[in-house]
Copies of this chain bind each other. A is one copy, B any other.
Amino acid sequence: MQAGPQPTDLSDVRATNRAVVLRYVRTHVPCSRADIAAHTGLNKATVSSLVTELIEHRLLRETGLTENRVGRPATMLVLDGEPYAALGMQVSADELVVVAVDLGGGRLLTWRRAFPALSASPADTTAAVARLARRAVARVGAQGRTVLGLTVGVPGLVDTAGTVPLAATLGWRDVPFTADLRAALRGPGFPVSVENAANLAVLAEQRHGGWADATNLVHLTGGAGIGAGVLVDGRLLRGGRGFAGEVGHLPLEPAGPACPCGRRGCLEALVGLPAVVRRLLPDAEADGTLTDFAPEVERIRVLARSEDRQTLAGLTALGRQLGHGVAVLADVLNPEAVLVGGHFAALAPWLLPAARAELTARTLAPDAGGTRLEPSTLGGEAAALGGATASLAGVEAGRLPVPAVAAG
């Protein structure tokens, strides 16, 4: 498939214009039909027809508010928050997270459940994800909401068919996760898809993060696995097979520590969450392999706050290695910002000063090509929130939610 100019089809035009109206209302709430016509370039009759249709499908509703201005008072429109919910989930090293949002992205629920994903089998993980999903569906269903879709983020390669050829930190190889999950949900009646967790996280940054206006953006996931979600000109970078952003095994130090992938000195082997805990808390695994990292990250924060010299020196060294990895992303992608999540965000006050210095020193372009390095503001659920955002994509592209009409 070659990119190029495409002729315009009339049904595409209607969907596109529906999308334009929905987007305008979402970003200028509340607004009138006249506002929409004035700012989108669509004529008033078209806007009126589209708004009627969107109200019928309960994507918009009238608030009855009026603007104070010269002339006839206008009926104001908002997104209809009531009848729909979009679900997102993520599989992290030590927990499952589910987030539900309404049409405007407002949070309906955020549940985090401890789950030992590093040691669980793919079948157990699939069953646990399905269980948590069913409970979330039941909860939003009890609120009278129709589920628009479920998008699950996993820390690994996801191919275009939704199979996971490799999720190294989870120990997964060739897991048909989307198909298994659909089967486990037994005809859920809404679209179910699986996506790389970092890709979802950067979608969440674009919609909910502190850099929402940036169109060239990277979210670097912290955690057991490290992945990059990359926006290029506002669109997700996927690559030929959907494997773009696989930076966890970037070879940074040929003589570095061994990585479970069989190579040495990979970014993940240097600054992934297990490596960080092992380096800063040598006693942490005295009682066996860790399945819950949150208390260890908190211990590190306490040590750092108390200015424990060994911890601070370790965090500075880790920050430099993180900055080295980010410099590769800056050279190749020249994003406006790299936002770090997970333990990188939790430890940002001690990691990022050294990381930024390394980024500037190692990037060829002056001033790191303008690339800022900042902690994500989305907490540990960026991928699940991004999954919920992704589940809204169909409606936001102007497609009418078919099942919801019956429900509405």
Question: Which residues of A are in contact with B by a Cβ distance under 8 Å?
Answer: 1-9, 13, 16-17, 19-20, 23, 40-42, 157, 165-166, 168, 206, 212-216, 228, 230, 232-235, 237-255, 261, 263, 324, 327-329, 331-336, 362-366, 369-371, 397-398
Q: A5-B19, A253-B254 are in contact. Are A332 and B328 (CB under 8 A)?
A: yes
CB distance from A24 to the nearest CB of B (A): 9
CB distance from A234 to the nearest CB of B (A): 3
Q: Are A23 and B4 in contact (CB under 8 A)?
A: yes
CB distance from A262 to the nearest CB of B (A): 9
User: What residues of B have a CB within 8 angstroms of the CB of A247 in the complex?
Assistant: 331-332
CB distance from A311 to the nearest CB of B (A): 25
- Count of identical protomers in the assembly: 2
Q: Are B364 and A249 in contact (CB under 8 A)?
A: yes
- A9: contacting residue among B41, B165, B241, CB under 8 A: B41
Q: Are B7 and A42 in contact (CB under 8 A)?
A: yes
Q: A237-B232, A365-B166 are in contact. Are A212 and B2 (CB under 8 A)?
A: yes
Do most interface residues of chain A lie in helix, strand or loop, or is the interface mixed? loop
Q: Are B5 and A23 in contact (CB under 8 A)?
A: yes
Q: Are B234 and A233 in contact (CB under 8 A)?
A: no
- A244: contacting residue among B246, B333, B397, B398, CB under 8 A: B333
- A332: contacting residue among B19, B327, B332, B366, CB under 8 A: B332
Q: How far is the CA of A329 from the CA of B228 in the complex (A)?
A: 13
Nearest 3 A/B pairs, CB to CB: A239-B334, A3-B234, A240-B336
Q: A166-B364, A253-B254, A261-B364 are in contact. Are A228 and B332 (CB under 8 A)?
A: yes
